[in-house]
Each structure stands twice: as C-alpha cells, then as structure tokens.
Structure 1
Amino acid sequence: MLELQRKDFNCLTSYAIENISSINVDKLKPFFSNLPADPYLAGNYRFRRLSHFQISGRSIIKLPHRPLYQPKQYNPLLGDVVREYAELDDELIKLADFQRMILEFFEFCELCSTFKEIAVHQIRTTASPEQIGKPAPEGIHRDGVDVIGIFSVNRERIEGGETHLYKSKNDSPVLNKILNPGEMLVFGDGEFFHFTSVINAISKIGGVRDVFVLTCPGLGSPNDK
C-alpha cells in the first residue's frame, strides 16, 4: 500500500495522508466544546453532531436533516438502529476553514465516487483517569460508503487513538498512524477496513480527541432496511 498525495491517488490500492496547512484548526476547536453526548453509547465518553451536504462546483449546500442508519453487516454494535444526532452548528458551517476541509475531501471523492453528497460527523471522544475512550467501539469495520476521510482537529492530554487500516480483518494493519491536528487520512471504504484504538488520559483532568469523519455519500437512511 502506498501513502500518496491526491494527484497520485488510486482508489483501489492507496490511501492518502495530507497535512492541510491552509486550515486553521484553532478556529474549529471551540465548536467541539458544546457537542451533545452520544445517547446510543454507554459511558458518556463520546459526543457527536452530524450534517449532510451537497457539493455543486465549489459551493457547499446543506441538506435537510436526516437520521443515521447502518445495517448490522457494517456496524455490529449499533446496526439496524435509527440514530438521531443534532446538526452541526450554523456558525461552524459558515467558517471558510470548515468549508475548505469539505472541498479538500471532495477532490478525492471525485476520483472514486459518482456521489456529490458528503456527510460530516463531528466527534469528540473523551478519557478520564477512571475511564478510557473508544473512538471505534464497533471494532474493525467498514462503513458501507465509497470514500472516508478522518480530519484531526485536536488531541489534548491523551495517549493512544492510533488509526489503523487493514486489507482484511484477519491481516496485520497496513497503516498505524496517530493523526495529528491538521492531518487528514483519506481511503476507499471498499478497499480498507478501519479502526482507531482506545485513548487514555494522561492528566487528572482528562483528555479529548476531536475529529471530523467525512463520508461520501452519507451513511445510509432508514429506507435501506
């Protein structure tokens, strides 16, 4: 497997890691402080919002609200559950840095998908001295989309949270990478399984891992049942 930039990206064989210096993560960080708790996971360690967007040229059009749905074959933990999450903050969506992130991701999507729709999951995973945080509680998995991007916004007072890509669930990972703020990992969901290891707090006040997970297209609808 090759770590490549966009111009050399092959949807069937490669993944890409970009350090997007044009995005100021400090402008994105404040919007992770008011995320609602994910009501579908026990432990109160993950917080989340979700919105869908249509891309038309260089324009980003917010789509009407819809829930999240994945079949059991993709999510053994929460598959076949219709999940409702609050929409992303309007002020976040207006930010040029946020829109730049979506358009950077969509350039990969144009190479690998015919869809013009992007789902953006805004996720904070927390850890404390008493409790680990699980960025991927469903284990090694696929999402059932064409392309996935993980953009790191913030890591504070934690260790762990290493993202892995696999060609199959039984193989050793072809990528082991802690994504640092400003880095985006992009890969074809049909070619790689993915997983992110648990995070542990290294401070008494706890720590956080803040990411945007982008998918092209969105992760299904209840009508897929």
Structure 2
Amino acid sequence: MNSGVTDTVQALESGLQHDGFRFVEAVTMRELLEAERPLADWTAFADSWNDLGPDNYLARHGRERRRRYAVYSAGPDGEIRREAHQPHYQSLDYNSLQGDIERWFEPIAANIGEGESLRRILAFCHGFFGALAPAISGWHIEVHQFRIEARPGQAGEPTPEGVHRDGVDYVLVLLIDRQNIVSGTTTIHSGDGRELGSFTLTTPLDAALVDDSRVFHGVTAVTPQDPILPAHRDVLVVTLRARDSSAPR
C-alpha cells in the first residue's frame, strides 16, 4: 500500500472513530479499491444489478425493492470465505417493519460473488474495519445487492423501516448506479435522534462508512426526475458483525 493510500485510510479511520461515520467520495473510494490494479470486472459487476430478484417480503407492504444476498466469513487467517446460502434475520429491536422473521432472498450469482470487484470490496471492509477492532478474531459478513425503484406517484424507499441501526458492528454502503432519481439523502443520527450529518451518494463508488454500534442511519425516499423514464438507485451494502457475538441481531 503506497503512502498516499495509507494516509487516506488512517484519516478515514480517525474520522470514523471520532464521529461514528464517514462519507467517502468516489474518487477516493476508487483509489482505495484500485490500490493494486484496476477493477477489471466492474462493468459486469454493476450490470448484475439488472438481474436482481424481487423482495417479496417488502412487496407485502406495497413497496418496491429488488435484491440478492450472500454471507461470508473471515477468520484469523484473513481469508474471506463464502458460506452456504442462508436467510437474512434481524430482530424487531433493529427492524420494526420486518423483524423476527427469516427472510430468504435469491443468492448473489456465483460469478459475481467470486468476482474481482466484490472480492476487493470485501477485502477492503475486512482490512479497514478489522483494524478498528483488532481484538476480534473472526467476522460474520453479510452482502446485499439492492435496487430501489421509483415510479410516478410511488416513491422508492431505501430504508422503509426509517432511521435505524442494522444490529451489526460496521456497515459499508457503496453506490453502484443512480438513474433518473431525486433525493436519496443519507442521514446519520445519535441515539437521542439528533442529526449528526447528511450526504447524498450521487456518483458510482460514493460510499458511507458507518459504526453501527454508535450511530443510526436512514435514507430519504427517491422519486423519478423524469416520470416517463425508469428510475432506480443501486447500492451494495456490506455489514460486519463479530463472529463470536452470541446471537443474530
């Protein structure tokens, strides 16, 4: 890792430790992910958002979202392994809309899950967040591909549960694509509801780094800029939870 990248990482770590979150502009995030070489499969990676499955659980509430999901683990050896496909679970304490149920989503495609772009993103998360918690020997890592669709008269809701915590230790939100939408502003809040900051992911690779144990986050609804054209917001969300934590949150 060159000195410029090292300095950037250290500045982000310091900011996250101080504030509980950091917004990272695309140019900086690209520098971090491409420190060794370009992301050769990025086009195919981004195109995979056109093949996400429906979120049937959210559709029951009259909302539109498409997604795929995968679980990985990382141990003391640093190797990141994909685990068998399993449901996503959050308790009602963290998700008042869809908590206390096992939600099965279509798996992230094998070629995407083992592709260079995702593997590089996971390696960054493991290295960056792991440095903030060196006592943790292993991590449970969940990966979500999300597409939020907006239609005339029907806003898309990136966080339909409202301002919340995910019940993990750390979160990366990475913008993949943003087409014909307005708003989608991320807000960060303290436990008492006070807003600590806000920013909008507008350029592919814009990112949010969040200490989920300390702050809450939410994203405002998105609406079509041109009502006659398709409108969506594509993001990758990666969460890390200490593997020796007692139970799913």
TM range (shorter): 0.7 to 0.9
Deviation of 1:147 (Å): 0.5
Question: 1:91: how far off?
Answer: 1.2
1:155-166 equivalent positions in 2, closer than 5 A: 155-166=178-189
The structure whose residues are more often helix, as a share, is 2
- Residue pair 1:112, 1:146 contacting (<8 A) in 2 also: no
The match for 1:52 is: 71
The worse-fitting range, judged by mean Cα deviation, of 160-169 and 30-39 is 160-169
The answer to whether the 8 A contact 1:5-1:16 is kept is: no
What's the counterpart of residue 7 of structure 1?
10
- Contact map agreement 2:139 2:242 (CA 8 A) in 1: no
Normalised by the size of structure 1, how large is the TM-score? Answer: 0.88
Structure 1: stretches of 5+ with no match in the other structure: none
Letter in 1 for 2:184: G
| Alignment coverage as a number of residue pairs | 219
Q: Evaluate the alpha carbon distance shift between residue 169 and residue 134 of structure 1 in structure 2; reply closer, same or farther with a 3 A threshold.
A: farther
Report the CA distance between 1:89 and its aligned residue: 0.6
Give distance in 2, aligned partners of 1:156 and 1:105.
26
CA contact (8 A) 1:148 1:213 kept: yes
Partner of 1:207: 231
Match of 1:66 among 86, 98, 101: 86
For 1:140, the equivalent position in structure 2 comes to 163
**Whole-angstrom distance in 2 between the partners of 1:6 and 1:136:** 28
Q: Distance in 1 between matches of 2:143 and 2:242?
A: 8
Residues 124-148 of structure 1: CA deviation (Å, up to 9, x unaligned): 1000113110000000101111101
Of 31-40 and 98-107, deviating more is 98-107
CA shift in 2, pair 1:198/1:61, >3 Å: same
How far apart are 1:122 and its partner, in Å?
A: 0.7
Structure 1 stretch 132-141 or stretch 27-36: which is displaced more? 27-36
Q: Residue 94 in 1 paired to residue 114 in 2? A: yes
Equivalent AA in structure 2 for residue 101 of structure 1: I
- Secondary structure, counterpart of 1:154 in structure 2: strand
Which secondary structure state, in structure 2, belongs to the residue aligned with residue 102 of structure 1?
A: helix
Return the offset for 1:174.
Answer: 1.8
Establish whether residue 17 from structure 1 lines up as the match of residue 23 from structure 2.
yes
CA distance 1:191–1:12, change in 2 (3 Å): farther
CA contact (8 A) 1:17 1:184 kept: yes
Which residue of 195, 204, 219 corresponds with 1:181?
A: 204
Structure 1 residue 29 displacement after superposition: 1.7
Bigger radius of gyration: 2
Distance 1:197 1:218, change over 3 A: farther
Identical aligned residues as a percent: 25
Residue 240 of structure 2 is aligned to residue 216 of structure 1: yes
Specify every segment of 5 or more residues in structure 2 that has no aligned partner in the other structure, as ranges: 1-6
Q: Which residue of 1 aligns with 2:3?
A: none
* Cα distance in 2 between the residues matched to 1:205 and 1:131: 14
Shift of 1:106: 1.5
C-alpha change, 1:186 and 1:5, in structure 2 (3 Å) is farther
